[in-house]
């Protein structure tokens, strides 16, 4: 599949477009970027750019066919391959992520969490499984897990990272305040909570 280069800001707006279009789809056949921009309170140039990046330009006068546009946006978010995710570390943060509903908007499935403090399988508040670390390797293989989330303290993060990579995980989302040693072909996204807040503090 062609790797689509798209900004994080554009990607952030796609669920907004989708939500609006799904309400609108039953009522109209076509929609213009101008209408979308007006209804969503966004700039028209921005809407054209966003939709252009994902779907191509709309037709002159008529704009976009609503059902086609929905299909394209959904396909973009869903990704061609699976988007199965596991979390290691089932503390407060790990469990908050496990039960967070917003990931579905982006076609991501947080399937389970694993924790060394867990012996017999548990369920999260919303019924997602929390397993012992013994079960991680088999689970990753059986479910073709694509992304691993690290929600353990910094001193255990590299060990978890190595285990993810051994199990064929393709990318890592790291909440531990550390720098991981990973092969060049494995993207890592670090989530630095403190930095976000500090940055906000500077804006006041």
The reply on whether position 11 binds a copy of itself by CB under 8 A is: yes
Strand ranges across the sheet with 129-132: 122-123, 129-132, 109-115, 84-88, 147-150, 171-174, 188-190
Q: How far is the CB of 194 from a copy of itself (least distance, A)?
A: 4
Checking DSSP bridges between strand 129-132 and strand 109-115, what pairing results, if any? parallel
Whichever of 30 and 55 has its CB closer to a copy of itself, that residue is 55
Q: How far is the CB of 171 from a copy of itself (least distance, A)?
A: 5
Kindly identify the residues of this chain, within the stretch 83-122, that bind a copy of itself according to CB under 8 A: 83, 85, 91-93, 95-97, 99-100, 102-103, 105-108
The reply on whether position 34 binds a copy of itself by CB under 8 A is: no
The DSSP bridge partners found for residue 31 are 64
Separation between Cα atoms, residue 66 and residue 40, nearest integer Å: 15
| Interaction pattern, residues 124-153, with a copy of itself; x per rule: CB under 8 A | -x--------------------xx-x----
Checking DSSP bridges between strand 147-150 and strand 171-174, what pairing results, if any? parallel
* Number of residues binding to a copy of itself, judged by CB under 8 A: 48
Separation between Cα atoms, residue 109 and residue 115, nearest integer Å: 19
Note whether 157 and 150 are within 8 A (CB). Answer: yes
Task: Please report, as ranges, the residues that interact with a copy of itself according to CB under 8 A.
Answer: 3-4, 6, 8, 11-12, 77, 79, 83, 85, 91-93, 95-97, 99-100, 102-103, 105-108, 125, 146-147, 149, 170-171, 173, 177, 187, 189, 191-204
């Amino acid at each position: 599949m062609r790797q689509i280069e798209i900004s994080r800001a554009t990607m952030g707006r796609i669920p907004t477009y989708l939500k609006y279009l799904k309400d609108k789809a039953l009522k109209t056949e076509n929609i213009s970027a101008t209408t979308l921009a007006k209804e969503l309170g966004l700039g028209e140039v921005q809407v054209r750019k966003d939709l252009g990046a994902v779907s191509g330009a709309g037709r002159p006068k008529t704009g976009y066919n609503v059902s086609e546009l929905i299909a394209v946006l959904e396909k973009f978010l869903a990704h061609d391959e699976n988007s199965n995710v596991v979390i290691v570390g089932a503390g407060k943060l790990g469990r908050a992520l496990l039960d967070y509903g917003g990931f579905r908007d982006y076609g991501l499935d947080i399937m389970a969490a694993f924790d060394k403090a867990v012996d017999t399988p548990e369920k999260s508040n919303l019924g997602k499984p929390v397993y012992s670390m013994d079960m991680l390797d088999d689970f990753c293989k059986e479910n073709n897990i694509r992304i691993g989330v690290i929600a353990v303290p910094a001193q255990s993060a590299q060990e978890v990272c190595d285990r993810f990579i051994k199990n064929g995980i393709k990318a890592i989302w790291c909440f531990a305040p550390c720098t991981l040693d990973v092969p060049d072909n494995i993207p890592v996204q670090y989530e630095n909570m403190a930095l976000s807040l500090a940055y906000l503090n500077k804006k006041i």
